[in-house]
Amino acid sequence: MMTTEGGDPHGFEEDEDEFLFNEYSIDDSLDSITRLERYHSSDFSLQRMVLVRDIMDTALEAGHEQTMKRLIPLLPAFVNDSEPAVRQALAEQIFPLAEFVCKHDVDGGQGYTEVLSSFVPFAIELLSDKNSDVGASAVSALLKVCDLIKPDDLEQHVVVVLQELAHDERAEEYRVVAAELCDELAPRFGRELCLTRVLPEVRLLADDSSFAVRKTVAAHIGKLCKTLGPEDAVEKVFPLYQTLSKDMIWGVRKACAESIASISEGVTPEVRAGELAVIFNGFIEDISRWVRVAASVNLGPYLYTFGQNSCPASLVQIFASMAHDEGGTDTDYPEYCAYNFPAVALTVGKDRWEELEPAFLTLVKDLQWKVRKTLSHSLHETAKIVGTEITERTLADAFELFLKDLDEVRIGCLLHVDEFLEVMSTKKRELYIPKLCLLTESSDSWRLRMLIGSTLGKLAQLVSPDFCKEHISPLCIKMVDDSVSDVRSAMFGSLAQVLKHLSTSGEGHAQSLLEAVLRSATGTSFQRRQILPHIAMECVLNGSEDLFVEHFLTPLCELARDPVANVRIVVAKAVSEIAKHPSFSGDDRVLEAIALLRQDRDQDVAFFAGSADAYSRAEPQRLENERIRAETYAAVLAAKEQSAEADPAFPPAFPSPQQPSSSQELLAKHEAALSADTQPPADEANDSDQQQQQQQQQQLETHADSEQPAEPAAEAAEIDQQKQQQQQQSSETDASSSSTHPDQPPHGGEAAQGSADGGAQQDGGAEPREPSDAAAEEEADVAAAAAPRPEAETGDQPMRDDEEEGGEGAETDAGQPAAAAAQEAVLGSTDEPSVDLSATPTPGPAEGEEAPGDTTPADAASAEQQQQQEQEQEGGEGEAEVKAAEGTESATPPPQPTSDATGSDPVVGAS
The average pLDDT across 515-539 equals 92
Q: What is the pLDDT of residue 92?
A: 93
Q: What is the DSSP letter of 472?
A: I
Does the pLDDT at position 661 exceed 90? no
Considering the chain, what percentage of its residues have pLDDT values greater than 70? 65
pLDDT at 783: 46
At 185 the pLDDT is 93
> With helix as H, strand as E and coil as C, how does 606-673 read?
HHHCCCCCCCCCCHHHHHHHHHHHHHHHHHHHHHHHHHHHHCCCCCCCCCCCCCCCHHHHHHHHHHHH
Indicate whether 704 pLDDT > 80.
no
Indicate the DSSP class of residue 843: P
Burial of residue 413, with CB atoms counted within 10 A of its CB: 0-12 exposed, 13-18 middle, 19 or more buried: buried
The confidence band for 778, taking pLDDT boundaries of 50, 70 and 90, is very low
- Give me the pLDDT at residue 192, please: 92
Q: What is the pLDDT of residues 439-462, one digit of tens each?
A: 888 778 899 999 999 999 999 999
Regarding predicted confidence, which is higher, 400 or 774? Answer: 400
Confidence at residue 718, expressed as pLDDT on a 0 to 100 scale: 57
* Higher local confidence (pLDDT), 795 or 436: 436
pLDDT at 559 over 90: yes
Query: pLDDT tens digits, residue range 44-76?
Result: 888 889 899 999 999 999 998 899 999 999 999
Q: What's the rounded Cα separation, in Å, for the pair 483 and 129? A: 58
Return d(Cα 562, Cα 98) in angstroms, integer: 58
Average pLDDT over residues 729-753: 43
Res. 346 pLDDT band, cuts 50 70 90: very high
What is the C-alpha separation between 373 and 378, in angstroms, rounded? 9
pLDDT of residue 438 exceeding 50, the answer is yes
Q: Is the pLDDT of residue 741 over 80?
A: no
| pLDDT band (50, 70, 90) for residue 399 | very high
Q: Is the pLDDT of residue 707 over 50?
A: no
CA pair distance 410, 377, nearest whole angstrom: 9
Region 246-255 average pLDDT:
95
Listed range (462-466, 626-630, 765-769) with the worst mean pLDDT? 765-769
Span of 149-153, 248-252, 349-353, 821-825 with lowest mean pLDDT: 821-825
Decide if pLDDT at 900 tops 90: no
Measured CA to CA, the distance from residue 471 to residue 492 in angstroms comes to 18
Structure confidence by residue, pLDDT tens digits, 821-845:
434 433 444 343 433 433 334 344 4
